[in-house]
Structure 1
Amino acid sequence: MMRARKTKLWALAVLLVLLLLAIMSKGCFTSASQTPQAELPALTAPVKITFWNQETNDLRQEVVKESIQTFNQTHPHIQIVPYFYEGETYKAKLRVAAISGKMPDLFYYWTGDSFKYMVDSQIVADLTDLMQEKPAYKKQFYPEALQNSTYYERLYGLPHTTSHVVFWYNKRLFAQFGITPPETWDELILAAQTLLSHGISPFSISGKERWPLLNWYAYLSNRLGGTSSYEHTIKGTGDFTDPSFIEAALLFRELVNKKMFVPGFMGLDRKMADALFLKGEAAMYLQGDWAAEEMLSNTDIGYFRFPTVHGKGDRTVYYGGSNGWAISKYSNQQAAFEVLSYMLSIEERKKFVEASGQLPTLKAIPLSPNHMKPSIYEYVKFIEKDPSRYFGYYDQEIDPRRSQLLLDTVVTMASAQTLSKKEIEDLLKQIR
């Protein structure tokens, strides 16, 4: 009986195997290993977009980081890989990347000849067609902001901020010594002398980073010579031997000789210079409104325009202009532009402006005073209307080689023990 039962079970097993083979031969069943490759689900990695920015270590950086984080969470097919660098380090790193051809996908830029040099080197993506595909998005920008990033009638970058260099001042110290915000150079010098006589440094400044020194020299030369002198210098039809540049250098040297800057200013970085001013160890600070949130969080701090100089210049002409983000030519341009469109959406820039107090390049951003510190809201409303025009950052408006020569010259003017007018003229002649 046992043997008969085993025989039947064996026969049944054989029949089942034969049936299974028959089904497989007719294609009614296909194993996973036999599935054609085309039928497998596509497992593609997200596009990674490297994104270089200036380091700020304040609310501006935090807002940008939050925008990036939100984008990465909501756009699984694209992931932003951000990098933040201190200002001078960033400029040096970008120069090396431009020369080596190893550019990030997205990068921070300043308008001017420094950016045009990158455009001419054919390492920056032409965004004209991508913007034409989004006419409604293009209309959100102020036309003049886009024009600042346009070369040869083609668009090469999207501006995100319009910045201004202004005088920040300590209202408590001014009131204590009977000083009112000066409107002329003579009034500024008189205020500085009053402060010095009471043991207060008139001006904080960061000499270590060079460009804050240039803020002074640029404003002085512009007030004395207007915008035309520098425009001729940019084009090569003029140079720094123009009388306005020499007179500006002499006035700047007077500030140095009279010890109007905080002691040891050539060794200070921007954080140190900020701190000295905010602690009341200096009464005034010529700095950009990229520091507006930090400055206006202190109730003692106010602001005023750079004054006229010896009756020349217009106080509503501001040193500043637009900064933006650009795409490198050999990146995934569609993915990078998707990132830019998000980062420069009205919703994301609204958060940035409300936190930072910097003027946007997008029109009709619905700012809410309920979401802003009152002092920042008041500043934004003031700076929206006050400038009649701008003149660009001197170290960005000229080509990179002359830019370094100019910065080195300003450092010499700020640090030399003695410097005659003839020596100043010889220094300025070398910036060619």
Structure 2
Amino acid sequence: MAIPLSRRTFLGLAAAVPASAALSACGSSGPSESGGGASYWYLSGQPQEGVRTNALKAFNKAHPKEKIKGTTFPNDAYKTKIKTAIGAGQAPTMIWGWGGGTLRSYVKAGQVEDLTSWFGDHPEVKKRVFPSSFGPATIDGKIYAMPVETVQPIVLYYNKKVFDQVGVKPPQSWGDIMALVPKFKAKGIAPFSLGGQSRWTNMMWLEFLFDRIGGPEVFQAVFDGEKDAWSNPAAIDALGKVQELVKAGGFVKGFSSITADSNADQALLYTGKAAMMLHGSWSYGIQKADGGDFVSGGGLGFMNFPPVEGGKGDPSDTVGNPGQYLYISSKASAEQKKIAKDYFTKGVLQPAEVKDWIGTGAVPLLLGTEKQLDASEDAAFLKFTYDVASKAKTFAQSWDQALSPTAAETLLDNIVKLFQLSISPKKFAANLNEVLGK
């Protein structure tokens, strides 16, 4: 099974560079499709690139009068080039992106099309995909993007063999998590693996705790830039709980020097050196590929993050990547915009593309794929991912994508300090309040 790329390719866009330099210096792997009136830029890199290119080819073949020229770019080059091209008025008709904070900046600058009324006129398009995928596509109550491709919720993984060895059961609450810590430590097993040097791995803990304690409204206030939003009592409580877990020895020793890109954190789980790990759904494929018979032999358990006692959050909610997104440039011609919208209705998540995504070990954000997922050798995990994503009342976007690049960097730096116990929850909140709305 092909392994999905890590969600860390989905960081915020790079800082702008002069338009002339970026447009000439950033390379591309060349056009993936020739012809026509509309254009489409998207990421290279397999297996995702192949799925995207095949879907585009299929649309062009079926609609020869509405050709779309596709061009692929490596991730880092794309992040610079697309931002600069949009700012210079040279954007492609269709812009592949991640929604959230970067989309908000485009909306404020009037650079992308408002699709709200179009979705109102085409309810059948909206009803095809997970309702939760529209969160990062929506800015100030209006829809500016078409959700596409796959869903990637964050998952609480656990080693079944280690749990059996210690004689305990998976946690059903935050209290259970704290109670398990000394039991695993007594056996020389790290309760949780964590690649803390990568920073975003630590962030996942806060994302869930904010939600489980205060509900989605807590981070929504941050996203909306409300004054002192990080000082919400539920936020302070969540920050404190993370530090309690750190102080209790909940994470593997030396977690601050472990990188997620090395997959060392995942190796700790499948080798039994750690009992649990909070990580993205993409981790399943990595554990399957690298962990010997750990996955195929039934050693891997997985679940949604448990509730916190007394919390207001819905335990069915999740966080992560609700989808990927296509925007339409506001500078495109009427004909180009029509072709793009036709692609939304006739080219996105058609049967062949859905089959291709499942073949990569991913769950398309299309409703009604249960039978296809059941037929996969990874059916149990894919169905779990599908159920979490489709049933979540709120699927919150990863914070470093939801926020502006400036705010996200401040967030990640302070998360490191929080986990290292070098700042208090109130100081963390104060530091983040300073970049609200920036």
Counterpart of 1:215 (choices 196, 204, 209) is 204
Deviates more, 1:140-149 or 1:400-409: 140-149
Aligned partner letter, 2:380: S
Alignment pair present for 1:233 and 2:222: yes
The equivalent residue for 1:29 is none
Deviation for aligned residue 1:173: 1.6
Q: Name the structure with the higher helix share.
A: 1
Indicate whether 1:395 and 2:386 are aligned: no
Report if the CA contact (8 A) 1:72-1:78 is conserved. Answer: yes
How far does residue 376 in structure 1 lie from its aligned partner after superposition? 3.3
Q: CA deviation at 1:179?
A: 2.4
Q: Which moves more between the two structures, 376-385 or 205-214?
A: 376-385
Partner in structure 1 of residue 300 of structure 2: 301
| Cα separation, 2, equivalents of 1:129 and 1:220 | 36
Unaligned stretches of 5+ in structure 1?
1-44
What pairs with 1:253-332 in structure 2 (closer than 5 Å)? 253-262=243-252, 263-272=254-263, 273-295=265-287, 298-299=295-296, 300-312=299-311, 313-320=313-320, 321-331=322-332, 332=336
Deviation at 1:216, TM superposition (A): 0.6
Corresponding residue of 1:121: 109
Identify the match of residue 98 of structure 2 among 105, 110, 117: 110
Displacement after TM superposition at 1:105 (Å): 4.7
SS in 2 for 1:261: coil
What corresponds to 2:379 in structure 1?
A: 374
**CA distance in structure 2 between the partners assigned to 1:269 and 1:371 by the alignment:** 27
- What CA deviation, in whole Å up to 9, does each residue of 1:214-254 have, x standing for no partner? 11112112222223333333331541112222222222223
Call closer, same or farther: CA 1:422–1:338 in 2, change over 3 Å. Answer: closer
Question: CA offset at residue 421 of structure 1?
Answer: 5.2
One-letter code aligned to 1:314 = D
What are the equivalent positions in structure 2 for 1:46-65 lying under 5 Å apart?
46-47=35-36, 49-53=39-43, 60=48, 63-64=51-52
Identity of aligned residues (%): 24
- Please identify the structure whose Cα radius of gyration is greater: 1
Instruction: Report the Cα distance in structure 1 between the residues aligned to 2:267 and 2:96, rounded to whole angstroms.
Output: 26
**Equivalent residue for 1:346?**
350
SS of residue in 1 equivalent to 2:195: coil
Q: Equivalents in 1 of 2:86, 2:420: separation in Å?
A: 31
| RMSD value, Cα | 3.8
Over 3 Å counting, the alpha-carbon distance change for 1:389 and 1:154 in structure 2 is closer
Query: Over residues 243-284 of structure 1, what are the superposed CA-to-partner deviations in whole Å (9 max), with x where a residue is unaligned?
Result: 222222222223334443343444503442344434444322
SS at match of 2:229: coil
Question: Size of the alignment, in residue pairs?
Answer: 383
User: Is residue 195–residue 201 contact of structure 1 (8 Å, CA) maintained in 2?
Assistant: yes
Quote the offset at 1:349 in angstroms.
Answer: 4.4
Conserved? CA contact 1:182–1:188, under 8 Å: yes
**1:172 aligned residue (161, 181, 191):** 161
Q: Tell me which residue corresponds to 1:407.
A: 412
TM (normalized to structure 2)?
A: 0.72
- The 1-side partners of 2:81 and 2:413 are apart by 19
Paired residue type of 2:171: P
SS at structure 2 position matched to 1:367? helix
Which residue matches 1:182? 171
Deviations 1:147-202 (A, max 9, x none): 76345775421112444222011112222222211011121123233223333333
Contact 1:204 1:265 (C-alpha < 8 Å) held by counterparts: no
Per the normalisation by structure 1, the TM-score is 0.72
Amino acid in the other structure paired with 1:430: E
Structure 1 letter corresponding to 2:108: D
1:363 partnered with 2:367: yes
Contact 1:292 1:358 in 2 (8 A): no
Q: Structure 1 residues 144, 205: closer, same or farther in 2, change over 3 A?
A: closer
Q: Which residue of 2 aligns with 1:26?
A: none
What's the offset of the Cα at 1:109?
3.1
In the alignment, what sits opposite 2:137?
Answer: 149
8 Å Cα contact 1:52/1:107 also seen in 2 = yes
Q: C-alpha distance in 1, partners of 2:426/2:119?
A: 51
Q: State the partner residue of 2:29.
A: none
Which one is further off, 144-153 or 323-332? Answer: 144-153
- The structure, 1 or 2, with the larger RCO (C-alpha pairs under 8 Å, 6+ apart) is 2
Query: Aligned partners of 2:413, 2:162: CA distance in 1, in Å?
Result: 34
